[in-house]
Amino acid sequence: MYQKIASILLLFIGLTSCFKGKHVDLIIHNAQVHTLNEQNSIQDAIAIKDGKIVEVGPERQILNKYTSDEDIDAGGKDIYPGFTDAHGHILSLVQQKLNLDLNNSQSFDEVLVRLEKYEQRTHRKFIIGRGWDQSLWANKEFPSNEQLNKMYPNTPICLYRVDGHAILVNEALLKKVNITAATKIEGGQIEVKDGKCTGILTDNAVLPILKFIPKYSKKEIKETILEIQEELFQYGITGVHEAGIENSDIQLFEELINSNQLSLNIYAMLTPSEENIAFSKKKGIYKHKNLSIRSFKVMGDGALGSHGAWLKKEYADKKGHFGALATPESELKRIATICELTGYQMNTHAIGDATNSLIFQIYKSLNEVNKDHRSRIEHAQVIDPNEIKLFSEFGVFPSVQPTHAVSDQRWAEQRIGKERLKGAYAYRSILANYGMIAIGTDFPIENIDPFLTIHAAVQRKNAENEPLQGFLTQEAISIEDCIKGMTIWAAFASFEEARLGTLEKGKDATFAIFENKVISTPNFQPNFAYMTFIKGKKVYSVE
Ligand SMILES: [Zn+2]
């Protein structure tokens, strides 16, 4: 009797769930789901199963059609595909976090205070600091190592200036490296006063020190990568195009992925070292779970701020100086040939108009062989206005960082003058020509916050809302386009558009629910993720 009732009951439950429709893992409803599909439609609800999107649609449709293990009422909040930072440096941020941070020290005394605190906290046997800038100090003079020698007679200390071109080291380190007041290094200066080294070494004189700088432990590096992942999730960032890694870093990422700790999507560009070139030839287009490797990051030239970017005409504020290529033309062409062979994408850092011009020509030949190489120019900062058309003509994918524009606005005109500014940070013109643009931050040079990127792209202002009227606002882009640059176009820029970038049936359920409405206002309004999901799994929640 009881058995009979039980089986009737089971049948009944079976039937109701049948009526209720299909079973999924997760339903999110009462939301503003920005699908970013072709129609740019906004829906109310998403049904998710096995990490994939089953359906996106109106509230009633999804709730009537599906039952689920878990149900989230999003309270009307905005949902977007997870953001991608299309140009970042996780591993540089790791170094920055592990080093003693000296950025914005207001005096050398402050440097010493920060140093003492850091030593007490970490007990490191070798201290590496970075970020001091004497131009912020009252006397504006380079510091010397006298106090460092007294405080730390035995612990080697190396403190980088903010630009990395000068360091202050103590006696203990000079002894270790065997540098004395009599040492001469070509292309570098060892500062000497009253017959003694002051501890200031510049340019090539920094190089002998580098060999002695110890590496942080693998354990510390891994912990810090996971800390960074958490910070990215807090902003709804679910993917990073890591711009240049060494061969040994591949293993580091894979170990974290295999232990299920790193779920961030990583599109890693390889540095063109011989080891990495061998990797590309042996492995070809390589995927390991959420890690994808099929590109090289190549250094075209230097930075505009330090007059390193290569310009067609001399710098406006440095007579007879043009900057230079960071990689010889023959080597750039050799890497292009390797990319042609392996199907790897070539992603070249190009800031100056001369470098961009050369890279267009190199990419032209790649484009003739394969129309879908999607060769990228990273930064595309100063372009000859007559050459903007070459993005579409030669199939060159632009990858830009709007926060650079608003950081550089203080001195950009000094460097290149008014005329060349017409092709500088020209995101709207570039987008109008190519139809897509990948957007990132270049962290840790800039902040990882994607809402600062939106602010810079749309309002053309920095976090302090400067400049008041915006910088070169004729090159501003819309918030919709900026978000596409961090989602679907970033996916195209990494050949992942079939899996990422929009919220549509069959794609990864990788998205973020945002705390506040995603908008852009003349005054910066902070925003954060409320919840972040990767492949249907909640990886971050405010609570
Ligand atoms: Zn970079």
CA of 87 to the centre of ligand 1 (A): 6
Query: For the chain, how long is the longest CA-to-CA vector?
Result: 105
d(CA 395, CA 434): 8
- From 256, 289, 237, select the one nearest 532 (Cα to Cα): 237
Q: Is 537 inside any structural domain? A: yes
User: Which residues neighbour 159 within 8 Å (Cβ) at sequence distance 6 or greater?
Assistant: 100, 102, 111, 115, 128, 129, 130, 132, 167, 168, 169
Instruction: State the number of CA atoms in the 13 A half-sphere of 82 facing the CB.
Output: 32
- From 177, 198, 202, 174, select the one nearest 187 (Cα to Cα): 202
What does the block give as tokens for 126? 């070798």
Average pLDDT per 10 consecutive residues for the chain, totaling 543 residues: 52 47 95 97 98 98 96 98 98 96 95 97 95 90 95 97 89 96 91 95 91 94 98 98 97 98 98 98 97 97 90 96 94 97 97 98 95 96 98 98 95 96 98 98 95 98 96 98 98 98 98 98 98 98 91
CA of 312 to the centre of ligand 1 (A): 22
Q: Is 86 inside any structural domain? A: no
Matching residue, tokens 């492949």: 535
**Number of domains composing the chain:** 3
State the Cα torsion 457-33-228-161 to the nearest 10°.
10
Q: Which pTM value belongs to this model? A: 0.91
Residues 179, 297, single domain; the answer is no
What does the block give as tokens for 410? 């203080």
Q: Is 365 inside any structural domain? A: yes
User: Which residues neighbour 262 within 8 Å (Cβ) at sequence distance 6 or greater?
Assistant: 225, 226, 229, 253, 256, 290
CA of 56 to the centre of ligand 1 (A): 36
CA of 516 to the centre of ligand 1 (A): 30
CA of 321 to the centre of ligand 1 (A): 24
CA of 94 to the centre of ligand 1 (A): 14
Q: Which of 158, 175, 210 is the last residue of a domain?
A: 210
Matching residue, tokens 């830009």: 400
CA of 74 to the centre of ligand 1 (A): 36
CA of 235 to the centre of ligand 1 (A): 20
Q: Is 150 inside any structural domain? A: yes
Residues 252, 396, single domain; the answer is yes
CATH of the domain at 159: 3.10.310.70
CA of 285 to the centre of ligand 1 (A): 22
Residues 414, 528, single domain; the answer is yes
d(CA 470, CA 458): 9
CA of 350 to the centre of ligand 1 (A): 11
d(CA 494, CA 3): 58
Q: Name the strands in the sheet holding 188-193, side by side, starting at the edge strand that comes first in the sequence.
A: 100-101, 127-132, 157-161, 166-169, 196-203, 188-193
CA of 386 to the centre of ligand 1 (A): 26
CA of 243 to the centre of ligand 1 (A): 6
Residues 326, 178, single domain; the answer is no
CA of 119 to the centre of ligand 1 (A): 30
Position 187 scores a pLDDT of: 85
Residues 329, 413, single domain; the answer is yes
Rg (CA), the chain: 26
Residues 222, 183, single domain; the answer is no
CA of 139 to the centre of ligand 1 (A): 33
CA of 236 to the centre of ligand 1 (A): 21
Within a 10 A sphere around the Cβ of 513, how many other Cβ atoms?
24
422 burial type by CB count under 10 A (0-12 exposed, 13-18 middle, 19+ buried): middle
Within a 10 A sphere around the Cβ of 301, how many other Cβ atoms?
26
The DSSP 8-state label assigned to residue 508 in this structure reads B
Per DSSP bridges, beta strands 166-169 and 196-203 are antiparallel
Position 543 scores a pLDDT of: 81
Q: Is 23 inside any structural domain? A: yes
CA of 176 to the centre of ligand 1 (A): 32
Matching residue, tokens 């580091």: 252
Residues 438, 514, single domain; the answer is yes
CATH of the domain at 481: 3.20.20.140
CA of 382 to the centre of ligand 1 (A): 16
Position 16 scores a pLDDT of: 45
Within a 10 A sphere around the Cβ of 346, how many other Cβ atoms?
25
33 burial type by CB count under 10 A (0-12 exposed, 13-18 middle, 19+ buried): buried
Q: Which domain holds residue 410?
A: 218-541
CA of 443 to the centre of ligand 1 (A): 7
Cα 401 from chain centroid?
Answer: 9
d(CA 82, CA 248): 28
CA of 379 to the centre of ligand 1 (A): 8
Q: Answer whether 388's CB lies under 8 Å from 427's CB.
A: no
d(CA 112, CA 123): 15
d(CA 508, CA 506): 7
The DSSP 8-state label assigned to residue 214 in this structure reads P
CA of 405 to the centre of ligand 1 (A): 14
Q: Is 116 inside any structural domain? A: no
Residues 336, 427, single domain; the answer is yes
CA of 479 to the centre of ligand 1 (A): 23
Residue 85: strand, helix, or coil: strand
Residues 139, 278, single domain; the answer is no
Residues 413, 436, single domain; the answer is yes
Q: Answer whether 446's CB lies under 8 Å from 406's CB.
A: no
CA of 297 to the centre of ligand 1 (A): 9
Q: Is 306 inside any structural domain? A: yes
Give CA separation, 383 vs 153, 303, 351, 386, 456, in Å.
51, 14, 8, 8, 19
CA of 182 to the centre of ligand 1 (A): 37
CATH of the domain at 59: 2.30.40.10
CA of 92 to the centre of ligand 1 (A): 10
What does the block give as tokens for 178? 């065997």
Q: Is 9 inside any structural domain? A: yes
CA of 439 to the centre of ligand 1 (A): 12
Residues 463, 532, single domain; the answer is yes
CA terminus-to-terminus distance, the chain: 48
CA of 229 to the centre of ligand 1 (A): 18
Residues 384, 521, single domain; the answer is yes
CA of 440 to the centre of ligand 1 (A): 9
User: Which residues neighbour 57 within 8 Å (Cβ) at sequence distance 6 or greater?
Assistant: 43, 44, 45
Q: Answer whether 80's CB lies under 8 Å from 511's CB.
A: yes
d(CA 427, CA 108): 40
